[in-house]
């Protein structure tokens, strides 16, 4: 048994990084690491990074500057960079910040233990390959620790769509799907450890096309129906979807599969066909709206969420107005909106950029509209009965917090049930970011 060492992981970016950070923690358990909540006493610090916008990537270098200070008190401390910045910038990271000992891209986490050993021999370790072996298969032997009631499970990774603004196809590589059986096994393992709700993850999760149990290729809907059979698994979600991959059987699953929750994150990015075309999105505003119509026909109460980019190169006030019009028509329960950020190497980086003040102003207008919709929808929940999956005790004594079917956070006072329980609650009040409910 190796001596116990402490690992501090800081996670940035999307849910897939959250999932990957867990896997990295497990990969280093074999080398004697336990995770710690602070960098102060760590023997290894790992930053799991995001490259999606310039700010996200630059933040890493200032954080590395701060983390480096810990080496003064602890000369044995190793610092590693994982995730999408690691993939995009590779060795450049060690050049800009020589305190970095290890750089590992998202496709090489199964080699982490070996790489850590290399740093212990005083060498630098770098791996940003796209190997052919299944990293998750190599990472799978994990201890049966009890877990929170909700978990992420990556089923698909990478993207072949090459939207003109986006780095993901370069940092996560070509699209690939894990086989159904491995996903089902992992889901059963999670359920044995107390998980009740699983969110299936993929950069293009609805493009999922993994090897099915019958030897044929299965789509996401078939995978969901297979997971539906897992006893003890109560809720299934998936994210993020692309409008072009929303197949009929997936829409039907929203109608018929009771474990599939009525919430769908379906980014559109813009409401202007001219801009959508320049973004290489290959859908129109109209086709997106008709798609949502079909989804709502299958599941009328479904809560829609989306992503928007404002100030994309060449975006005019009229283009932006078309985005606001689309938002008015859809009515979003949640939305994530970003000012366009130039990413070196992507096609849009070469084009005429929108004035920064103009872009900021558009972002504010868009966010005000989204906020209003969000509040209206939350307000409309008052008086309705929802089912809440309890996650943890709330701030007040006797209070529990969980999520409704629609992913709203619900606080329940005088709650006698436990985390992991599903309880019926009537919504009594909508507050800024959450709902209050009473058990029925
Ligand atoms: N796989 C997801 C996107 C991941 S990135 C999908 O296809 O929807 C999450 C969001 O970040 C995107 O939907 C987009 O709205 C935003 N984004 C991506 N690149 C960006 C850039 N260069 N500038 C601003 N926002 C960006
Ligand atoms: Fe990026 Fe999503 Fe477009 Fe792929 S589909 S390039 S991940 S925004
Ligand atoms: Fe960021 Fe990579 Fe996710 S760029 S959003 S961490 S896929």
CATH of the domain at 428: 2.40.50.140
| Number of domains comprising the chain | 3
Same domain, 157 and 230: yes
Q: What is the pLDDT of residue 132?
A: 72
Closest listed ligand to the CA of 239:
1
282 Cβ closer than 6 Å to some ligand 2 atom: no
Same domain, 80 and 193: no
Closest alpha carbon to 266 in 235, 280, 297, 245: 245
pTM recorded for the entire structure = 0.96
Same domain, 116 and 203: no
Has residue 291 been placed in a domain? no
Ligand 3 atom with the smallest distance to the CA of 15 is 3
- Evaluate the CA torsion angle 39, 419, 431, 12 in order and state its sign: positive
Examine the fold and report which residue of 231, 261, 291 is the final residue of a domain before the chain moves on: 261
Residue 172, H or E segment: none
In the reported structure, the alpha carbon of residue 56 is separated from the centroid of ligand 3 by a whole-number distance in angstroms of 10
Q: What is the pLDDT of residue 393?
A: 96
Same domain, 24 and 66: yes
158 Cβ closer than 6 Å to some ligand 3 atom: no
Give the tens place of pLDDT for each residue, 180-212: 999 999 999 999 999 999 999 999 999 999 999
Distance CA 73, CA 146 (A): 34
The pair phi, psi for residue 24, each rounded to 5°, is -65, -40
Same domain, 110 and 69: yes
Same domain, 156 and 228: yes
Q: What is the pLDDT of residue 30?
A: 85
Pocket test of ligand 2: the residue of 14, 84, 158, 162 to mutate, having most ligand atoms within 8 Å of its CB, is 162
242 Cβ closer than 6 Å to some ligand 2 atom: yes
In the reported structure, the alpha carbon of residue 50 is separated from the centroid of ligand 3 by a whole-number distance in angstroms of 5
Examine the fold and report which residue of 127, 160, 182 is the final residue of a domain before the chain moves on: 127
Spatial CB neighbours of 396, under 8 Å, sequence gap ≥ 6? 413
Closest listed ligand to the CA of 265:
1
Ligand 2 atom with the smallest distance to the CA of 269 is 8
Q: What is the pLDDT of residue 413?
A: 95
**Which residues are 321's β-sheet partners?**
none
172 Cβ closer than 6 Å to some ligand 3 atom: yes
327 Cβ closer than 6 Å to some ligand 3 atom: no
Has residue 271 been placed in a domain? no
Which structural domain, as residue segments, surrounds residue 154? Answer: 144-261
Which segments of 39-167 does DSSP mark as H helices, in order? 54-68, 70-73, 83-89, 92-96, 112-120, 135-138
Same domain, 151 and 50: no
204 Cβ closer than 6 Å to some ligand 2 atom: yes
In the reported structure, the alpha carbon of residue 219 is separated from the centroid of ligand 2 by a whole-number distance in angstroms of 19
Ligand 3 atom with the smallest distance to the CA of 49 is 6
Q: What is the pLDDT of residue 97?
A: 96
Pocket test of ligand 3: the residue of 12, 81, 83 to mutate, having most ligand atoms within 8 Å of its CB, is 83
Quote the strand ranges of 263-316, DSSP E.
263-265, 303-310
Give the tens place of pLDDT for each residue, 206-258: 999 999 999 999 999 999 999 999 999 999 999 999 999 999 999 999 999 99
Has residue 272 been placed in a domain? no
Has residue 301 been placed in a domain? no
Examine the fold and report which residue of 84, 102, 127 is the final residue of a domain before the chain moves on: 127
Distance CA 277, CA 296 (A): 26
Has residue 135 been placed in a domain? no
Q: What is the pLDDT of residue 142?
A: 61
Nearest-CA residue for atom 3 of ligand 2: 163
Pocket test of ligand 2: the residue of 168, 340, 343 to mutate, having most ligand atoms within 8 Å of its CB, is 168
In the reported structure, the alpha carbon of residue 22 is separated from the centroid of ligand 1 by a whole-number distance in angstroms of 23
Same domain, 122 and 160: no
Q: What is the pLDDT of residue 57?
A: 86
Give the tens place of pLDDT for each residue, 126-141: 999 888 777 777 666 5
pLDDT tens track, the chain, 440 positions:
457 999 999 999 999 999 999 999 999 998 999 999 999 999 999 999 999 999 988 899 999 999 999 999 999 999 999 999 999 999 999 999 999 999 999 999 999 999 999 999 999 999 998 887 777 776 665 666 788 999 999 999 999 999 999 999 999 999 999 999 999 999 999 999 999 999 999 999 999 999 999 999 999 999 999 999 999 999 999 999 999 999 999 999 999 999 999 999 999 999 999 999 999 999 999 999 999 999 999 999 999 999 999 999 999 999 999 999 999 999 999 999 999 999 999 999 999 999 999 999 999 999 999 999 999 999 999 999 999 999 999 999 999 999 999 999 999 999 999 999 999 999 999 987 899 999 99
Same domain, 172 and 204: yes
Has residue 308 been placed in a domain? no
The domain that holds 73 is classified in CATH as 3.40.50.12160
Nearest-CA residue for atom 18 of ligand 1: 166
Q: What is the pLDDT of residue 102?
A: 98
Distance CA 153, CA 140 (A): 12
Same domain, 16 and 41: yes
Distance CA 240, CA 203 (A): 6
In the reported structure, the alpha carbon of residue 164 is separated from the centroid of ligand 2 by a whole-number distance in angstroms of 9
Closest listed ligand to the CA of 169:
2
In the reported structure, the alpha carbon of residue 384 is separated from the centroid of ligand 2 by a whole-number distance in angstroms of 36
Distance CA 377, CA 387 (A): 17
Has residue 277 been placed in a domain? no
Has residue 232 been placed in a domain? yes
The domain that holds 194 is classified in CATH as 3.30.750.210
């Amino acid at each position: 048994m190796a001596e116990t060492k402490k690992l501090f992981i800081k996670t940035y970016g999307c849910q897939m990084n959250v999932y990957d950070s867990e896997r990295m923690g497990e990969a280093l358990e074999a080398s004697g690491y336990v995770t710690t909540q602070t960098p102060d006493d760590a023997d290894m610090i790992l930053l799991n990074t995001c490259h999606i916008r310039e700010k996200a990537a630059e933040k890493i270098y200032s954080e590395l500057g701060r983390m480096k200070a810990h080496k003064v008190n602890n000369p044995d401390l190793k610092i590693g960079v994982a995730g999408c910045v690691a993939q995009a910038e590779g060795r450049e990271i060690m050049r800009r910040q020589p305190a970095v000992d290890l750089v590992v891209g998202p496709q090489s986490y199964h080699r982490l233990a070996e790489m850590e050993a290399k740093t212990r021999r005083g060498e630098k370790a770098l791996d940003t390959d796209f190997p052919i072996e299944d990293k998750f298969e190599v990472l799978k032997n994990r201890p049966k620790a009890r877990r929170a009631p909700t978990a992420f499970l990556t089923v698909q990774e990478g993207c072949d769509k090459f939207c003109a603004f986006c780095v993901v196809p370069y940092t996560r590589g070509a699209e690939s799907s894990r086989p159904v059986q491995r996903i089902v096994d992992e889901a059963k393992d999670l359920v044995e450890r107390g998980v009740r709700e699983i969110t299936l993850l993929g950069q293009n999760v609805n493009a999922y096309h993994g090897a099915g149990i019958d030897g044929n290729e299965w789509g996401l809907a078939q995978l969901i129906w297979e997971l539906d059979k897992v006893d003890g698994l109560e809720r299934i979600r998936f994210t993020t979807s692309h409008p072009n991959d929303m197949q009929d059987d997936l829409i039907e699953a929203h109608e018929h599969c009771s474990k599939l929750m009525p919430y769908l994150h379906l980014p559109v990015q813009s409401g202007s066909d001219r801009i959508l075309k320049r973004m290489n999105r290959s859908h129109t505003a109209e086709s997106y709206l008709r798609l949502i119509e079909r989804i709502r026909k299958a599941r009328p109460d479904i809560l829609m969420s989306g992503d928007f980019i404002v100030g994309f190169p060449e975006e005019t006030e009229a283009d932006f107005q078309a985005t606001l019009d689309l938002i008015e028509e859809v009515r979003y329960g949640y939305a994530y909106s970003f000012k366009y950020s130039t990413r070196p190497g992507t096609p849009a980086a070469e084009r005429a950029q929108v004035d920064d003040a103009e872009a900021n102003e558009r972002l504010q207008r868009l966010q005000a509209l989204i906020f209003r919709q969000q509040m209206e929808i939350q307000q409309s929940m008052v008086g309705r009965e929802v089912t809440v999956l309890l996650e943890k005790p709330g701030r007040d004594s006797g209070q529990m917090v969980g999520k409704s079917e629609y992913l709203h956070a619900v606080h329940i006072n005088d709650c006698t049930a436990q985390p992991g329980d599903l309880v019926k609650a009537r919504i009594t009040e909508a507050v800024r970011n959450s709902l209050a409910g009473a058990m029925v």
